[in-house]
Structures are given as structure tokens and as C-alpha cells.
Structure 1
Amino acid sequence: MNPFEQILSDAKALRFAIPFIIGIALSWCFRDVTHEYWYFPGLLCVNLYLVMFVVGRHRMRFDSVSFGVLAMLFFFFLGSALLMRSYHQTVVQWPAQRQCFQGIVTSSLRMKGKTNVFDVQLLAIGNGKKLKRTSRHVQVTMLAERITPPAVGDALLLYGVISAPKNNDNPLSFDYASWLHRKGVSGTVYVGTNVRKCSAEAQRQLYQRLSWWQRINIQAQKSRQALLSRYESIDRTSREYAVVAALTLGDKYSLTRDIRTLFSETGASHVLALSGLHLGILVSVLLFLLRPFMRKSSTRKGVVVACIMFIWLFAWMTGLSVSLVRAAIMYTLALLFYLRNVQGVPINHLAIAALVILFFQPMALMDISFQLSFLSVFAILFFQPMYASIRPQDRRWAWIADFVYVAVVAQIATAPLVAYSFHIVPLTFLLSNVIVIPCSYLLLGGSLCLFVLSSVPLVSQWLCHAMMYIARWMLAYLEKIDALPLSFVEAYPSWVTVVLCYCLTILCVMLWYRRSRNAVAEIMIVFALLAGSIIYQHRPGKISNQVICYDIPSCPAVHFIASEGESALWMADSTQYNRVCAVAKTFWGSYQIDEPRVFTKDYAGPHIHSQRGIVIFNGKRYVLVSDDEWDKKTVDKPLAVEMLYITAKNRWQQERLTQLFRPHEIIVR
């Protein structure tokens, strides 16, 4: 038995985690086309078989194949049941009329233009005269001007129309509705200025309706805000504060798009998401401080219990993110095994962490953070036997080799998934992590000292300045790395290409140990399929003549794409071009569409012509109205056009324009 087979045979929890994950994934794929309780007959039959064989006359051995198959089927249907139950709890048919509702703020405010966005746990809803009790999670958008922003835990009285989460009609855009469903949000509402804080008595009554878990989460949010206030010497609007807040306490609300892009392009984005790296740093610092007590068997148990309590306290205060909970479970199991002088199986711990997280949050499986976190750790543990055979014996070189091994394996394991989700493959990740990881040690250690010594003003102020300087220096270093040639490459693989990449990796591992001709033939077949997938992805003429009306709030834009390669973008306001790029970049890259030429009125190209907002494309006319130029025009006979596009602020001209043109389709945005 080779080392890989030995690892998989020891990781017994993995045998149940895999069917559990498959059940969740399949149910998510068919969540809208299958019945809510489709899993019930299968789950019932499996339970009956288990009862019949385990406690019946014909007892089954727990290590038999039959029991293993039944147990795997049980976990498959259990995963399906949990997913369907969790998803349908977020699917609500909201009334179309405006309603009054009460709720508790459960998240910090996020600035979005001139509005504030935050989450509210609804506890009462009605027409204003009589409110009925409810328990739904909604996302609220309110105007930021002239209104005091609410804090976490405040009870609010709001008025507006709640609607189900929906996506904008843009090709290959981010699935915002599914993301909200995975967060447990069942509706969105814009309230403008119709927001009032409830009285103290009403807030007390509403707070009592919350579950104990919701109260714990709100208290965790308040504790995190209190700790963030300790960074009083750092400007809240600076980039340094955003990095320090995200890296030490998991608060990402201050991170701008530029900061996220910088860390993604340099391969250092993992430090912005609290995970095993951050928890390992804090635990190592704590164990170093408590090292004298670890030497005595009488106090060792107390130290381990204190470490476990610290781990979960940190995870609780930082919001219980998926990657951090995964690390907390694995560290807890490792410490418990250490206390019993038993060597555990790390992959077994990883599988148990996946089972625990998905049992309580089955929709977390579809989050990219869950996928990247578990995939990178699984790859590091899975390839450990191969690395152990070539690891240097010298301690100094072994430390460097360990760093390179972890960075390279984690990057290679997640590269196809990162390219599919973020369309970036960083190539200078080693250069970035050489500095970023030591800076993370310093920032986390400094934040721990700051929280402990916050009562000493001089020391806390000095620590804040030191942390700000470290964050500024780290950002400057990453900007220099990002400016290097070929620091990253853009990639737009299809899901077929991603699957084939992982199949090729698995077959290469099999060849490493088995060295059989069958493995070589299988690798050649998968490699040929992978090459064919890439060639098909980059085939010429992938897109035919198309007209795309982008659905971007307050940013009218129509894209004309010719099959010969010409691309022109009409915009009512050309200064909003960056917003269009942010929405359509994935679509342009996936279909190899050149960056379009922007025009507002007149345009002359080989296949696209425009004059005074009338575009001739593919033998058809398109009228684009963004002002009142056509208000006083008259014609004897309406002009037949393919599409009449009217901006939202000119919708009052629609009746007048239909007298001038006879459109096949009218779009108002």
C-alpha cells in the first residue's frame, strides 16, 4: 500500500464526507427543478435498512461493505435534505405592496455610493396597524445623508417593498441572488429615509424574540466593533486601516476594490481572509508564552483547555468565517489528540471539519472561500508523503523548503479554481508571501499586545503607529511586485477545463506511484481533452453579431459586437466606463472580445455606423435616446427600427418617440 492509499484508508471520516458533499452539490444544481422533499423516500428507505440490519435478527458488521454502502447513502440523502431545507427557508413570496416592518440590525454598515447597506433580522411585519411576528433575514438599503447610521443590535422600524433577491440582466455576471441565498438572506428592500429607531422598550421586546444563536452573533459583532475602536490612531479611511482590520479581526467592509485586486494579482489574498495561517500565528504565540506550564503534566491540561477556549473566542469575535471555523475545528482536534498522546490523522480532521460546517451551513459548499480553504489544505496534506521523501534534513533548509512546499502546493491546487472564479493566475506569489507572511506575524502579534495594553495610552498609540507603518510598507512592497512584468496572467477557463485540470493532476499522482502503462495512456487521453477544451475556448468567431444592453443602475450602455471582431459601446455618460468594465470584464475575456470603442452620438466603423443616436448594425436600425433631441421632431411616417432604447430619465418621451419610430422592441433603462 503506497502512502496515498494509506492516508485515504486512515481517513475514515472522508468516506462519509464525500457522499455528504455530493448530495449537497447535486441538490443545489437541481434545487429549482426538483420537489422540496424529493430526498425523503430515499432517506426513509436507507434508515429502515439500517434499523433492520443493525438491530434486527440479521446483524450487520460495522466494517462490512453493506453497512458502508448504506452509511454512505444515508449521508448522501442527509446532505440533500439539509440543503433543500436550508435553501427553501430563504425562498419567500413577498407581497407587492409597501409594508411596515420591525427588526434588529445584525451586520455592520457597508457604504455603497450614497447609500448604506446592512442586514436586518425581521421580527414583525404588517400594514402598519397590526404587525405579525415573523423571522426572516433581509438586506436593507437606505440613504446615507441626513440619517444617523444604525449600529449593530439597534431595533429599527422600516417602511418599504421587500422583493426576492434577483440578478441584473448582464451576461456572465456575478450571481448575486444565489450569494444572498447562501448568506440566508430571503429579501432585499430599499427604504430611502423611511427608517426610525424603536424605543428602548420596543427594542427590549424585539431582542427577546431572537434565538440564542442570533444574540451570540450580535454580541460578537459588537465585540469586534469595540476592538476595532482600539485602532484610534489609524485613519479609518486609509488603506492601512482596511488591511489591519481585515487581517487581524476579519472586518472586510473597509477594503476597496483596488486593495482586493492588488492582493489577488500578487497571490497574497489569502492573508485578508482569516484562516489557519492567522490562527496558527496566534496559537503559536500563546503556546510560546505558556511554554513553562506545558512542561508539567499537572498544568498541561489547563494550557490545552485555555488554548481551545482562545481559539473559539477568536473565531467567535471575528464572525465565524468558514475558513476560520475549519482551522478552529482542526486545531481543537489536534490539541485533544495531543492531550491524550495520540497521533491523529490530519485529513480525518479536515473531513470532520467539513461535515460539521456543512451540517449547520450546507449552502456554504458553494462559497468560493469554502472551496479554496478545504482544497488547499487537502492538497498540502495529501502530497505530504511525496514531499517527506525529498525534504532536506538540515533544519535551516527544511524551514525554507516547508515554506516553499506549502506555498507552491496550495497555489497549484487552487489555481484552476481561482482562474475560473477570479480570472487571475498570480505568478509572483512566492515573492509576495516572503514579505506578507512575516508582516502578518507582526500585525497579529501587535494587535494582541494592543488589545491587552490598551489601558496604557502611550503604548497603545505607539503600537498603532507601528502597525500602520508595517501595513503601509507591505502595501508598497506588493505594488512593486505587481508592477513586475508577468506578475500575473488573466485566464478565463470553462468549468470543463477546470475539471480536466484536476483529473490530470490525479492521474499524474497515480503514475508517480504505480508507473503503469494504463496510467500513461489515461494521462495522454485527459491531456488531449484538456488541449481540445482550451482550443475550443479560444476558437475564432466564438461570438456572432450581438447587441447587448447592460443592466447597470444609473449607467445606460449598449454594446454592439460584430462577428468580424469590431466592438463599439454606446454610453449616455462616457465617464461611467469603469463601471461597465467592472460588470462586463468577465464576458469580454471569456469570448475574447476586444475592448470596445466608446461613443455617445456619432461613430463610424467598418460594420457599425451611428449618427445622432441612430445606429446601423447588421442591416438593422437601433435608436438610442439619452436626451430631448427628438422631442419636437415630426414625421409623416414612423421609421421602422429594430430597437428603441430610452434612458430612465427620458422615459417621459416614450409616447412621443413611438410616433416617430415603429420599434420591434422597446427597452427603458
Structure 2
Amino acid sequence: MQWLPYSYVRLLAALVLGILWQYFFPTPQNIFIVWVIVASFIYGLSPWYVPSHKRHQAQLWLGLLGLSVFMGVGAVRCYQTVARNHPSHFVHQPTDSLRAYVVRITDEVQAKSSYWQTIAEVRALRYPDGWHRCHGKILLRIAYTDSLPEPSSAPLVGDELIIKGIYSPIDEAKNPHSFDYQAYLWHKGIYCQQYVQPQHIGIIARQTLPWWQQASLQIRHYCQIQLHTYLPEAEALGIASALVLGVKTNLDTETSQTYAQAGLMHILAVSGLHLGLVAGLVSLMLKPLRRWRYGVWVYSLLVIMVLWGYAFLTGASASVLRAATMFSLILLGQALTRQTNIYNIIAASAFILLLYNPMLLFSLGFQLSYLAVIGIIYLYPKIYGIFSIPNPYLDKAWQLSAVSISAQLATFPLGLYYFHQFPNYFLLSNLMVLPVVPFILGGGILLLLLSPFPYLAVWLGWLLSQTIVWMGILVRWLTSLPYASTQGIYLNGWELCFLYGMLLGVLLLLAQRRFVYVWLCVGMVTAWSSSRIYYQYQLRSQRLMTVYYLPKNPHLQLLQGQKAQVLLPNKLSAVQSADYQFALGGHHTALGLQVCHFERQKIRPGSLAFELVFWQGQRIALVSGAVSPAFWELCGEAGVSVFILQNNAVRSLKPLADKLPRQAQYVVDASNYTKTTQKLKQDAAELGLQWHDVRSQGAWLWRF
């Protein structure tokens, strides 16, 4: 492959390398700023100090020097994007004497089970000596005044509020392999949160936003109201809101999981597919403009304006920004009558977005979006060319199948890494459902346009609702088929790299047919297989005792091989809880758990206050109620090695100082109150006991 035509690909690679360096190896930005200036100066003066007859020999080194400039730019932009690196950020200010602070709501306000949730920009902090200006984002959860509040009572985007109280840092993930909400928010520049009672909030000003942002929010709000009005079915409303407006608050968890298992989650997130349909519709409507003298420019600018307007209306996700940037570059290239290289356009769009916000590189939507489009552009012609089908209808079906296979090949390793499942019938589901999506998207947009005419809107809303409901029935039927999806697939980071290495090696081998790529494929397969063999060996030999972070749910998990025994006080409520599966599902997948046997603890209110468990030669005491001081002495004589304190059974350790076994491990699970945990932690530190607080330190694991 000749790299000369792919200039933006090289620049993007250098920029990404700089971002990754700064992210994993934080370095003062001044070092990179100096390097960018010096390297740019050396590169710029090269025509004067490099003789003309030696420029060809120096081309490689000058090229690397130029790329190092963009690597430095990537590192500097990454440093500048991390909000806490700025001295004026509010996280650098003390909170011990903080009385109040002023924020402006900058994100959509979402209704949760018992509170409003939104993101706000901190503008000033109130201390005894006055106000101090600052900046930074904060996650706010505002408790409802009533149990079922009216939507009109919600705070609005742009409202300026004064809040009394002290914010706290975002907690890290408490259970291994669970969703890291802290990292997710950190990438968005959010490091603190506060749960606020209504009486601690005062409104200073209403909707203090620029006119264009205010207009965008009003249009978005109007569109949501119209969908609520004309789509009576809850399922239809949720899917239409997600597909047309990018609003997922009306989408229930069961529907999301069903579409994910069918390999159709991409249609519920506004992405390049949806933006492409909008672009095609607008292009068709404005096509006559291209006949004018300057019509190409007018046509291109209007399409770009509509695309970016729709992108911001739907929330400007990473995949939408990618598609909007790519379409804009293609249209500008056509207006300038310049021949464009599609890979340069892809790289240029990624370069622009990462230059603006380097944290997009770590967004799953950004990664999947670019991998899918690269896979489609490169693999689709090759896969489609395998068969030549004369029947036009079957040929259209094969085209859609080739697109689905291309996107799946490019993204399935990342899907396995993040979601631990593979939709076995992805080809069938995409072939049956994707043709319906343009009609739903077009129908949703037409419904919004016809909303001033209620009679027409009611009939169109009914037709759209029925279409979505029947599509949901079809998706649920697909997921009910035997072996609809393969669950519980675990990949570590290295195995993800090996899989992509195998894929790259096969593609290079087919394209260039050089023997060196055979060795690349063999090396990647060997590395991946070795990693999987070692992983399976670990699974069969593992022995692990775990107390997870599960508020209000005392428990103990004992794992041997790939079989676990879980002791719970109330088996049904904990096991059937979606929160339980969300909290532990990732770790259970990583452990290769095949059998999980749940048992009720023998502890019952009014009867036994403790239970002794014998496992792997160890004695574990579950203490869930009041016990006599003699209990601790007897446990010490019996050789109990672990005490798990539950349900505020022990509120102070000092009265038991001479009774407690000093060599034992004490674990306080998340069923205890925060105040009780803090008191016990203080006592344990004074007594020199081995202590683990699950509420603050996360899950406790003991490997044998």
C-alpha cells in the first residue's frame, strides 16, 4: 500500500499517539509546547539548511519530525481538555468552609425514580470572606418535592441556581468488572456530585442561555411533546424518541436488552445511519438547486446546515458528530470539484473531532462508529463481489447482508470486549428490521412536521405506532429463537488486540499475498490461543471468597472453579433484582461462572444472630445480630479467620477490645449504615485490627 495519498491518516495516527501518551503517562504540557515550537521551527527551516541533493535522503526524518509536532499537539490538547488541570477548577478549592455555590444547568434534566438528574456548570463558590469565581461541571440530583412531580416543576436548562451544601467526589466502581461510572464521567469533565433537597435550592435566573442554544432546546422540547401526544404506545414512544431525537429516557431496560441481543442496538441510537437517511432526503429535495450557476454551493451549504442542525437537535453524540463531519467534508469537496480520498475524509473528520475534544477517543460510540464505517468502506466491495445475483430484489438483500457482515467483522471484537455477548442471528435481524428503519425515521420526521394539523398527525401517529410495535414483536421473536445470542464471553485487553491483529493480518494477506503476513497471522493466533488456554486454566483452579458492594443486601459468595455458592438472607429479592445483575454480571462473566447456587442464610430475626461457615479449611462468621462478648472469645478459640459484620449488628468495637481475635480479618459489608461503618472503622484503626470497609473500599476478595 502506498502511504503518500493518505496524509490525514498519518496526521491522525500522530495525534492519537500524543493523546494516548498524555492520558496514560501524564506529562506537564509545557514540555510538549516547547517541543512543538522547536520541532516546527526546525522543520520550517529545513529548506534552508538541507541541501537540495540530500532532501530525498532526509525526507523520512523530516516526515517523522513533522509528525512529532502533531503528536505534541495531541498531548497538549489532551492536557487542556482534562478540566481538573486548570487551576480555576472548583475541585482545587477547599470544602470545609463552603457555604453555597452557584451553578447554571447546561444539560437536559432527566426524571429518575425519586429525583431530577442533570449536569450543571459551577460558576462561583461562597465562603465566609465572599464569593470566589470558578468553573467546572457537576452532577446534580435534585430530590422531588412530591412523590409524582409534574414535568413543569422540573428545573430547566439554562436556569441559574444557588445551592446550599457541600459536593462530594464521584465514587469509583465498587465491584470488580462493573461499569466504571467514575471514568465515564471523568471523560466528560465531571468529578463531583451532590444530592440536593428542594429546600436547599434557590433560583437566581431563568434560562440564561444564548439565543441559538435556547432555540435548539425549545425545538427539541416541542418535538418531544408532539411524540408524547401522538404516540400512545409506550414502546412506540420510547423507540421513536430514541430513533428520531436521540432521547432514551422513554426507553425501558427490557427493550434495550432485547434489541442488543438481536444485534440491533445501533438503530436505537442516532448515528451515521440516521444522519445518512436525513442527508439523502434533504439532498433529494434540494437537488434542483445544483442546476444553477452557484447552485452547488447553495445546495452544499444548505445540506450541511440541516445536517448539523439535526446533529445538535439529537444531542450531538460521537457517532453523529463523525457522520456530520464526514458528510460536510464530502460536500465541500464536491463543491470545490476536487477528487477526494474516502480514507482521508474519515481520518480528517476524526482529526477535527479529536482536536476539539481528545476525550472522544475513549468514547465507545466514537470507537464503534469509526470501526464500522471503515469496515463497510473496505470490506463491503470485497464481500459483495463474492456473489453476482441477477435478481434485483435478491441483489438488494445481498447488498444489505454484505453491509451487515462488513460492519460486524470490524466491530465484533470490541462488542465482545464491552458487552460479553454476540448476536448469532445479526444477519437475519438486520435483513428483516433495517429496511423498516427509514420508514420509521421518515414517518417520525413527517409526524413532527404535520403536528400543527392534529387530524393528519393522529392518523400518522397511529400508523407509526403500529409499525414500531410490530417491529418490536419481530425483534422479540428473533431473540426467542434457540441460540439467539452467545452470552458470557470474556476478553481481556490483550486478547482484544490479538483479535484485531488476526483480522488485520488476514486482510493484509488477502490484499498483498506476502508471506510475512502469514507469520503475523500465526503469531496473533498463537498469542490469542495461549492467552485463552491460560485463562481457562485459571478458571478451573480458582478459589475465591467475595463480599460485593450490594447496599441493603448482606451476602457471601464462595467460588471454587466455575461454581459458586452464594449465601443471602433473602434469596428472591436479591437474585431477581436488576441491580444485582448489573453490579455483579461483569465479574461473574470474568470468573467464567457456570453454576451459581443460592442459599438462604440460617440467620433469622429473633433467632440466630450469627452463622458459622466452613469452607476450604477456613472458618467464617456471619454476624447479623446482637451477640454476647463471649461469642468473640469462642470464635477466637475456634480459629475463625474472617468476621463479616452485617445489618448494623455491631455498632462499636471498643467495649469488645479484650475479646476480639486480633489475627482475624473484619469485613463490614454495605448493609451497615454509613455512620456505623465510620465508627467501626475508627475503632478498628485504634485497636490495630485488619479491616475492610466495603462501602468505601469496594468489594472484598480473598483468593486462596
Q: List per-residue Cα deviations over 1:453-478 (Å, max 9, x = no partner).
A: 22111112222222222221111111
Distance in 2, Cα, partners of 1:225 & 1:186: 28
Q: Which residue of 1 aligns with 2:681?
A: none
Q: 2:454 aligns with which of 445, 454, 457?
A: 457
Distance in 2, Cα, partners of 1:237 & 1:631: 55
CA 1:199/1:192 → structure 2, altered by over 3 Å: closer, same or farther? closer
Amino acid in the other structure paired with 2:41: L
- How do 1:535-614 residues align onto structure 2 when only pairs under 5 Å count? 535-539=533-537, 541=539, 544-563=542-561, 565-571=563-569, 574-577=572-575, 578=577, 579-602=579-602, 612-614=610-612
Shift of 1:541: 4.2
Q: List per-residue Cα deviations over 1:523-544 (Å, max 9, x = no partner).
A: 2232222222222222254563
Q: Which residue of 2 aligns with 1:407?
A: 404
Is the 1:639–1:660 contact (alpha carbons within 8 Å) kept by the matching residues of 2?
A: no
Amino acid in the other structure paired with 2:437: S
CA 1:547/1:313 → structure 2, altered by over 3 Å: closer, same or farther? same
Q: Which residue of 2 aligns with 1:83?
A: 78
Report the more deviating stretch, 468-477 or 593-602. 593-602
Is the 1:294–1:300 contact (alpha carbons within 8 Å) kept by the matching residues of 2?
A: yes
Say which SS state the counterpart of residue 229 (structure 2) adopts. coil
Distance in 1, Cα, partners of 2:600 & 2:25: 43
Q: Say if 2:340 is the partner of 1:344.
A: yes
Is the 1:46–1:74 contact (alpha carbons within 8 Å) kept by the matching residues of 2?
A: yes
Q: List per-residue Cα deviations over 1:491-527 (Å, max 9, x = no partner).
A: 1112222111111111112221333333333322322
CA 1:593/1:253 → structure 2, altered by over 3 Å: closer, same or farther? same
Report the more deviating stretch, 518-527 or 352-361. 518-527
Q: Which residue of 2 aligns with 1:153?
A: 158
CA 1:118/1:100 → structure 2, altered by over 3 Å: closer, same or farther? same
Gaps of 5+ in 1: 604-609
CA 1:291/1:36 → structure 2, altered by over 3 Å: closer, same or farther? closer
Q: Which residue of 2 aligns with 1:324?
A: 320
Q: Which residue of 1 aligns with 2:283?
A: 287
Q: Say if 2:258 is the partner of 1:262.
A: yes
Amino acid in the other structure paired with 2:444: S
Q: List per-residue Cα deviations over 1:556-583 (Å, max 9, x = no partner).
A: 4332223584432435675032322221
Amino acid in the other structure paired with 1:115: Y
Shift of 1:278: 0.4
Q: Which residue of 1 aligns with 2:40?
A: 47
CA 1:415/1:474 → structure 2, altered by over 3 Å: closer, same or farther? same
Distance in 1, Cα, partners of 2:40 & 2:287: 49
Say which SS state the counterpart of residue 557 (structure 2) adopts. strand
Q: 1:616 aligns with which of 614, 631, 639?
A: 614
Amino acid in the other structure paired with 1:261: Q
Is the 1:643–1:667 contact (alpha carbons within 8 Å) kept by the matching residues of 2?
A: no
Report the more deviating stretch, 566-575 or 257-266. 566-575
CA 1:647/1:118 → structure 2, altered by over 3 Å: closer, same or farther? farther
Amino acid in the other structure paired with 2:421: I
Distance in 1, Cα, partners of 2:180 & 2:497: 21
Shift of 1:54: 5.6
Is the 1:118–1:140 contact (alpha carbons within 8 Å) kept by the matching residues of 2?
A: yes
Shift of 1:415: 0.3
Distance in 2, Cα, partners of 1:61 & 1:165: 54
- How do 1:109-124 residues align onto structure 2 when only pairs under 5 Å count? 109-124=109-124
Q: Which residue of 2 aligns with 1:448?
A: 445
Amino acid in the other structure paired with 1:558: L
Shift of 1:613: 3.0
Amino acid in the other structure paired with 2:180: D
Is the 1:114–1:145 contact (alpha carbons within 8 Å) kept by the matching residues of 2?
A: no
Distance in 1, Cα, partners of 2:192 & 2:648: 27
Say which SS state the counterpart of residue 349 (structure 1) adopts. helix
Distance in 2, Cα, partners of 1:137 & 1:144: 22
Distance in 1, Cα, partners of 2:444 & 2:652: 59
Q: 2:249 aligns with which of 247, 253, 259?
A: 253
Is the 1:95–1:162 contact (alpha carbons within 8 Å) kept by the matching residues of 2?
A: no
CA 1:228/1:566 → structure 2, altered by over 3 Å: closer, same or farther? closer
CA 1:644/1:447 → structure 2, altered by over 3 Å: closer, same or farther? same
Amino acid in the other structure paired with 1:548: T
Q: Which residue of 2 aligns with 1:607?
A: none
CA 1:125/1:56 → structure 2, altered by over 3 Å: closer, same or farther? farther
Q: Which residue of 2 aligns with 1:420?
A: 417
Say which SS state the counterpart of residue 641 (structure 2) adopts. strand
Q: List per-residue Cα deviations over 1:28-77 (Å, max 9, x = no partner).
A: 2234xx55655345434323322432677879979933332122111112
Q: Which residue of 1 aligns with 2:680?
A: none
Is the 1:16–1:72 contact (alpha carbons within 8 Å) kept by the matching residues of 2?
A: yes
Please report the RMSD computed on the Cα atoms of aligned residues, expressed in angstroms: 3.1
Report the more deviating stretch, 145-154 or 35-44. 35-44
Q: Which residue of 2 aligns with 1:606?
A: none
Distance in 2, Cα, partners of 1:636 & 1:183: 49
CA 1:82/1:272 → structure 2, altered by over 3 Å: closer, same or farther? same
Shift of 1:113: 3.7
Amino acid in the other structure paired with 1:172: H
Q: List per-residue Cα deviations over 1:228-286 (Å, max 9, x = no partner).
A: 11113356892221111110011122223222211111111111221111011112112
Shift of 1:418: 0.4
Distance in 2, Cα, partners of 1:391 & 1:123: 61
Distance in 2, Cα, partners of 1:323 & 1:398: 28
Amino acid in the other structure paired with 1:176: Y
Q: Which residue of 1 aligns with 2:295?
A: 299
Q: Which residue of 2 aligns with 1:172?
A: 177
Distance in 2, Cα, partners of 1:226 & 1:299: 33
Is the 1:161–1:190 contact (alpha carbons within 8 Å) kept by the matching residues of 2?
A: no
Shift of 1:318: 1.3
The sequence identity of aligned pairs, in percent, is 22
Say which SS state the counterpart of residue 613 (structure 1) adopts. strand
CA 1:589/1:235 → structure 2, altered by over 3 Å: closer, same or farther? same
Q: Which residue of 2 aligns with 1:486?
A: 483
Q: Say if 2:79 is the partner of 1:74.
A: no
Q: List per-residue Cα deviations over 1:589-614 (Å, max 9, x = no partner).
A: 112123432334239xxxxxx99433
Gaps of 5+ in 2: 671-704
Q: Say if 2:182 is the partner of 1:184.
A: no
Is the 2:612–2:622 contact (alpha carbons within 8 Å) kept by the matching residues of 1?
A: yes
Amino acid in the other structure paired with 1:66: W
Shift of 1:633: 7.0
Report the more deviating stretch, 247-256 or 559-568. 559-568
Is the 2:610–2:623 contact (alpha carbons within 8 Å) kept by the matching residues of 1?
A: no
Q: Which residue of 2 aligns with 1:232?
A: 228
Is the 1:494–1:537 contact (alpha carbons within 8 Å) kept by the matching residues of 2?
A: no
CA 1:348/1:153 → structure 2, altered by over 3 Å: closer, same or farther? same
Q: Say if 2:521 is the partner of 1:523.
A: yes
Amino acid in the other structure paired with 1:268: L
